[in-house]
Amino acid sequence: MSKLQSQQNAAADEAVAQAASHRNVDHSPKEAVANTAQRACGRCLVKGDVVYSTVVTGAGYVAMCYFSSELCNSMGIHQGMEGAVAESKNAAEHSAASAVLSVLGVECGPKKSKVSTEAPIQSPLGLQGPPSGAKKTTAPKAKNAPCRVFALFKPTGMVTTMSTDPSKGSCDMAAWINSILPGQRLSVIGGLDKNASGLMLVTNDGQFAAGVTASHGCEKEYWCGVDVASNVDAYSMVSGTCAQLLGGFEHDHPTKPKPAKILGRAKNARKLLPKEEASALSHADFQGTCLFFSVTMDTGSFRVVKSMMAAAGAPSATQHLERIGGLRLTELQLWNPGSHVELSSEDIELLRSSCDGFAQFQ
């Protein structure tokens, strides 16, 4: 690429970001994902940064949206996001992009009455399709197949990516999920950092996944362990930290240009009960004196929770996700990291009823 072309691309990138900052929304999901990804990494997109992989099912098309390792870290999304079944390949890709936007809390402009078959406006280099050698080794959800959801107890140290390429990190998560229902397509709902443990959900239903990951969709209860000196006044530290978490903090938005901010505010914050502390200690890879906090949020991710804990003067040494909506690890009898169980129809309905994100699909 010539120097002139590089300068033109850089200028175009800046113009896109400035336009987005003024209108705050993009006109199509794929355009919004492209612009958001570009702002997150601070450069023009290249081949492999954002990849859409589409398969044909008996009910229509289903697409997955994947990000490169760099963008996974920049955007805080560490696995592919699946959209709902659609009538065309392009509509399926827009649905996958919408699932990404729901996780990021990024707004998108009003949808057209019919999704255009033309490519959406993209970054100067454009989005690239999946690699020509990409293999589709799993079968998608069949037409009229029942929604199936599995709960996993993710251990600390496992990378939550479905990649089977060793050069992109551990393949343990992909091997684990592929062993649950061999030959079936299962998608991870949300994600956890490598050094975090806790409850994760996987499903064969893209619409169900979108309901759980929708902005303000589901409460999540995080257990955060804080390394403290033995002579610290635990009562004062707990009361002060919880008060600040409930008051909330403003942070720079992880994907939008400055001065965009995101408000992180806990719905509930408290010290763990003795029985809960014993459970937290049993699977926390930590040596020393630790105070454990329960922090309940209905938006944001571990990155937001970690930032809030640090801003409150209590940086997390351990992180654990104990509850999603009405589902709790202990109540699912998931006692040990690395275990999993299929949710019953009653558990699935409990999750639906406890997550406001499903209202948009009714």
Q: Which domains does the chain have, with CATH numbers?
A: 1-136 (no CATH), 220-324 (3.30.70)
Kind of pairing, strands 290-297 and 196-203?
A: unpaired
Per DSSP, 223 falls in state E
Residue 143's pLDDT is 53
Q: Which amino acid is at 300?
A: G
Q: Residue 271's beta-bridge partner residues? A: 293
CA–CA dist 62, 58 (Å, integer): 10
pLDDT of the residue at 274: 92
% of the chain with per-residue pLDDT over 90:
25
Smallest CA-to-CA distance from 210 within 355, 40, 27 is with 355
Residues of the chain with pLDDT under 50: 3-5, 7-8, 11-13, 15-26, 111-141
Question: What token pair was written down for 21?
Answer: 């900052």
Amino acid of residue 197: S
Return the DSSP state at 286.
-
pLDDT at 103: 77
Q: For residue 272, what pLDDT is reported?
A: 95
**Burial label, 114 (beta-carbon count in 10 A; 0-12, 13-18, 19+):** exposed
**Amino acid identity at 174:** A
Whether omega for the bond prior to residue 146 falls within 30 degrees of 0, making it cis, is no
Helix (H) or strand (E) holding 90: helix 89-104
In this predicted structure, what is the pLDDT of residue 140?
46
- Residue 236: exposure state from Cβ atoms within 10 A (0-12, 13-18, ≥19): exposed
Q: Which residue has the tokens 């355009």?
A: 31
Nearest residue to 94 via CA among 112, 72, 77? 112
Q: Which amino acid type is present at position 67? A: F
